[in-house]
Amino acid sequence: MEKEISKAVISRLPRYYRYLGELMEDGVERISSNELSQKMKVTASQIRQDLNNFGGFGQQGYGYNVKYLHTEIAKILGIDRQHNLIIIGAGNLGQALANYANFKKHGFVIKGMFDINPRLIGLVVRGVEIRGVDDLEKFIVENEVQMAALTIPKTKAPEIADRLVKAGIKAIWNFAHVDLVVPDDVVVENVHLSESLMRLSYRASSLQDQKKKEEKKKR
């Protein structure tokens, strides 16, 4: 697929992918943009525009071929192939990721887990042994690891990220509350949980303020 697809569309793709996957599980073979619109609470015209990027929709009156679209979106997202992943930090969050069975379904295979806590090293989570970080680089090369999730404190994250990059990791899923500095050919996706919680707090507070204002007006 050679056509450029906009950032906004890309950011919506995982959600389409999820709904199409659920439809497939329910045995649905095709769906109209109106039906999909009702399910996803997005306008039908937005759906048509977004999915136009993929060409593969049926004629008027047929609707979308669910499996075809699901496959095409998977290709775009790069989840039609296997990604070898390691998790650095085997605390609760790291273990939560390791236990997330869905990842494997989407081609993300957890090859190893690492920690510096001697009490965790040697434990096995979902068939994956927790190792110390001494042989991190060797492990990455031998197991053709492309991605790493960082679930360690922010004080340790930059140093580990440097080691990962030098060992050839091209994608870092960063849960540490710090902005990592990496070369241009490495991508970082941040999940900053406390920032997400602050956005929730902001939205809840501003909704309350709005309500108070409206109540004042009514009096």
* Residues in touch with a second copy (CB under 8 A): 10-11, 13-15, 17-18, 40-41, 76-79, 83, 91-93, 95-97, 99-100, 102-103, 106, 108, 146-147, 170-171, 173, 177, 179, 185, 187, 189, 191-208, 211
Shorter beta-carbon distance to a second copy: residue 58 or 187? 187
Residue 78 annotated in ligand binding: no
Q: Residue 14: which residues within 8 A CB-CB, separation 6 or more?
A: 77
Q: Are 191 and 175 in contact (CB under 8 A)?
A: yes
Shorter beta-carbon distance to a second copy: residue 97 or 133? 97
Shorter beta-carbon distance to a second copy: residue 58 or 78? 78
List the one residue out of 72, 100, 68 whose CA is nearest residue 87.
Answer: 100
**Minimum gap (Å) between residue 58 Cβ and a second copy:** 25
Tokens of 218: 């009514």
**Minimum gap (Å) between residue 134 Cβ and a second copy:** 25
Residue 122 annotated in ligand binding: no
Q: Residue 5: which residues within 8 A CB-CB, separation 6 or more?
A: 53, 76
DSSP state of 43: -
**Minimum gap (Å) between residue 190 Cβ and a second copy:** 9
Residue 93 annotated in ligand binding: yes
**Minimum gap (Å) between residue 60 Cβ and a second copy:** 28
Q: Residue 143: which residues within 8 A CB-CB, separation 6 or more?
A: 84, 86, 111, 112
Residue 112 annotated in ligand binding: no
Q: Measure the CA–CA gap between 10 and 14, rounded to whole angstroms.
A: 8
DSSP state of 109: E
Shorter beta-carbon distance to a second copy: residue 79 or 121? 79
Shorter beta-carbon distance to a second copy: residue 15 or 135? 15
Q: Measure the CA–CA gap between 203 and 119, rounded to whole angstroms.
A: 41
**Minimum gap (Å) between residue 213 Cβ and a second copy:** 10
Mapped onto helix, strand or coil, the DSSP state of residue 178 is coil
| Binding residue numbers for NAD(+) | 89-94
| Binding residue numbers | 89-94
